[in-house]
């Protein structure tokens, strides 16, 4: 269901129209015994926020109706009650509501509660969240990005403070989080204890479903619910919208249609696993759903005059993780796939935003092997030094299009490799040079093992301007080692300059650069 207000609505008009539907949630009838009420189990989230609104999400513990009140003040004076929507077992008791036609550049407060379907006088305690709609004018924009959460068996450890990177990011009060994927590690069991090299013991919170790899729909759902147990993640979600994409670990490591599943899996069909994962993923995040392709992850998010974000899906349409050495473009070398590539070209060409951020769930030139121990097969884009081959053919075509079409101010943001880096792509040092220079920034993990650095492919001429990684012999460092990284982007509303800073979980600014925009 959609809450609609008149188009071009100002805050003043919003308040005047909301008055007729104003309610007092605190006056609603509640039972005195908390055990008799529904429970909001996983906090609240908002996502895919634009100038006119966004999506809100919550989950109950039983069949119920989600009730949402929306206001432009924290006091919820003159709040507007929205139509209820069902939270049923078929969706794991989750519910999402798209709020549209809200005032641009406005702090929006929403309040969620659940009403028991069997006993309509019984409601949960309310949980409050907020988001800020995208600006209609050239104000400052600030956001954070990163990926990789609860990977390699490093779960929620209260003794280490939990998922502290989310608390650090929250202090910056960003407009949104660009989540670059590996939102969960469905293929990574969480043990109660892990002995560290120094003899200390890492102690995880655990749930039964995370004792094994996820195969059933309920196990995929539980992988997401596990992360929501962290207090820092819930507090972050209540205040910062998420623009989310997926990568491999939402299903299984390095998955493509050619994936041969490990022996731990009783379900042997990768398509079945991917379908169950996709359903859980869309249930658990506040994504604006596509009407022409239900379940689509790639989409454009417009965040005011200075910023368009192009969220890519580099999993659903890729060819097999083979050798990828083709010199002619075809199904074996698909990565984005023809339809998504055409969509991205159209979006970049039509964008009037100062900056076009391409949110890629995998890096362009960092080599990621499908069979890492034996350095065989291709998992990512890079195929090794030399002219474009395999999946690099799509990127070469895209970069050539950006140059010849006069598209300016593109920046690539990514995660996946579990270390922080800044790459400047220089056509003068590339094997394929038909493109304008651009930057790629790598951040993460947000809460997982730290690895790297990986080999770099010279096809598109990347120059390493910064890197922080454990180095040889120090792989899979736990979050307690402190090498958890996120990126912070700030766009100046007046000048349009973009400042990109790479930070660690202690909020130390490791490296920063300011980019001057070209005229659009």
Cα 39 to Cα 57: distance, rounded to the nearest angstrom: 14
14-62 tens-digit pLDDT = 544 444 333 333 334 444 345 689 999 999 999 999 999 999 999 999 9
2-132 belongs to which homologous superfamily? Answer: Purple acid phosphatase-like, N-terminal (2.60.40.380)
DSSP conformational letter for 220: H
Q: What is the CB neighbour count within 10 angstroms for residue 189? A: 15
Task: List the domain boundaries for the chain.
Answer: 2-132, 141-155+177-188+242-260+293-515
The pLDDT assigned to 2 comes to 35
Strand 410-414 vs strand 438-442: parallel, antiparallel, or unpaired? parallel
The pLDDT assigned to 488 comes to 99
141-155+177-188+242-260+293-515 belongs to which homologous superfamily? Answer: Metallo-dependent phosphatases (3.60.21.10)
Whole-angstrom CA distances from 398 to 190, 338, 405, 413, 503 are 40, 11, 10, 16, 30
Prediction pTM value: 0.93
Which residues, listed in sequence order, are joined to residue 85 by a DSSP beta bridge? 66
The pLDDT assigned to 107 comes to 97
> Roughly how many angstroms between the first and final C-alpha of the chain, as a whole number?
37
Closest CA to 358 of 311, 421, 304: 311
Burial class (CB in 10 A: 0-12, 13-18, 19+), 294: exposed
Cα 361 to Cα 346: distance, rounded to the nearest angstrom: 20
Closest CA to 29 of 88, 96, 87, 113: 113
The pLDDT assigned to 10 comes to 54
> Do the domains 141-155+177-188+242-260+293-515 and 2-132 match in fold?
no
Walk along the chain (520 residues) and give the pLDDT tens digit of each residue: 333 333 345 554 454 444 433 333 333 444 434 568 999 999 999 999 999 999 999 999 999 999 999 999 999 998 999 999 999 999 999 999 999 889 999 999 999 999 999 998 999 999 999 999 999 999 999 999 999 999 999 999 999 999 999 999 999 999 999 999 999 999 999 999 999 999 999 999 999 999 999 999 999 999 999 999 999 999 999 999 999 999 999 999 999 988 999 999 999 999 999 999 999 999 999 999 988 899 999 999 999 999 999 999 999 999 999 999 999 999 999 999 999 999 999 999 999 999 999 999 999 999 999 998 899 889 999 999 999 999 999 999 999 999 999 999 999 999 999 999 999 999 999 999 999 999 999 999 999 999 999 999 999 999 999 999 998 999 999 999 999 999 999 999 999 999 999 999 999 999 999 999 999 9
Name residues whose C-beta falls within 8 Å of residue 293's C-beta, 6 or more positions apart in sequence: none
Q: Where do the H-state alpha helices sit in 371-411? A: 392-404
Burial class (CB in 10 A: 0-12, 13-18, 19+), 389: buried
The pLDDT assigned to 292 comes to 83
The pLDDT assigned to 28 comes to 41
Q: Is 100 left (phi over 0), alpha (psi -120 to 50) or beta?
A: beta
Closest CA to 423 of 467, 478, 377: 467
């Amino acid at each position: 269901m959609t809450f609609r207000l008149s188009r071009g609505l100002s805050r003043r008009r919003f308040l005047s129209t909301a008055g007729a539907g104003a309610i007092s949630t605190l006056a609603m009838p509640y039972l005195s015994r908390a055990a008799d009420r529904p429970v909001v189990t996983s906090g609240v989230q908002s996502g895919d926020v634009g100038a006119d609104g966004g999506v809100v999400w919550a989950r109950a513990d039983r069949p119920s109706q989600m009730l949402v009140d929306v206001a432009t003040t924290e006091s919820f004076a003159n709040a507007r009650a929205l139509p209820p929507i069902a939270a049923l077992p078929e969706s794991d008791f989750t519910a999402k509501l798209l709020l549209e036609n809200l005032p641009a550049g406005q702090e929006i407060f929403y309040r969620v509660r659940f009403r028991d379907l069997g006993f309509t006088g019984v409601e949960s305690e309310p949980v409050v969240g907020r988001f800020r709609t995208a600006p209609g004018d050239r104000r400052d924009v600030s956001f954070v990005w990163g990926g990789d959460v609860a990977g390699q068996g490093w779960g929620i450890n209260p003794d280490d403070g939990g998922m502290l990177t989310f608390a650090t990011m929250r202090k910056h009060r960003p407009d949104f989080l660009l989540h670059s994927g590996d939102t969960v590690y469905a293929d990574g069991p969480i043990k109660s204890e892990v002995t560290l090299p120094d003899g200390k013991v890492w102690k995880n919170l655990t749930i039964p479903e995370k004792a094994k790899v996820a195969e059933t729909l309920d196990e995929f759902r539980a992988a997401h619910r596990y992360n929501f147990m962290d207090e820092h993640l819930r507090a972050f979600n209540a205040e910062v919208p998420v623009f989310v994409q997926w990568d491999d670990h939402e299903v299984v490591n390095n998955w493509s249609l050619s994936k041969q599943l490990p022996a731990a899996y009783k379900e042997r069909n990768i398509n079945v696993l991917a379908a169950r994962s996709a359903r859980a993923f869309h249930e658990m995040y506040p994504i604006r759903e596509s009407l022409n392709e239900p379940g689509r992850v790639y989409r454009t998010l417009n965040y005011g005059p200075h910023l368009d974000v192009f969220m890519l899906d580099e999993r659903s349409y890729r060819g097999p993780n083979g050798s990828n050495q083709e010199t002619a473009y075809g199904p074996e070398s698909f990565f984005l796939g023809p339809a998504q590539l055409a969509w991205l070209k159209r979006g970049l060409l039509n964008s009037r935003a100062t900056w076009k951020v391409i949110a890629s769930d995998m890096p362009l030139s960092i080599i990621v092997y499908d069979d890492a121990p034996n350095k065989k097969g291709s998992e990512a884009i890079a195929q090794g030094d030399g002219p474009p081959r395999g999946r690099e053919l799509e990127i070469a075509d895209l970069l050539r299009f950006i140059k010849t079409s006069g598209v300016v101010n593109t920046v690539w943001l990514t995660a996946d490799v579990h270390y922080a880096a800044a790459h400047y792509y220089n056509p003068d040092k590339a094997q394929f040079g038909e493109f304008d220079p651009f930057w790629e920034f790598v951040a993460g993990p947000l809460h997982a093992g730290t690895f790297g650095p990986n080999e770099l492919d010279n096809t598109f001429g990347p120059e390493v301007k910064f890197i922080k990684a454990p180095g040889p012999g120090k792989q899979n460092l736990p979050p307690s080692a402190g090498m958890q990284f996120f990126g912070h982007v700030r766009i100046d509303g007046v000048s349009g300059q973009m400042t990109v800073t790479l930070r660690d979980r202690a909020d130390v600014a490791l490296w920063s650069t300011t980019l001057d925009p070209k005229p659009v």
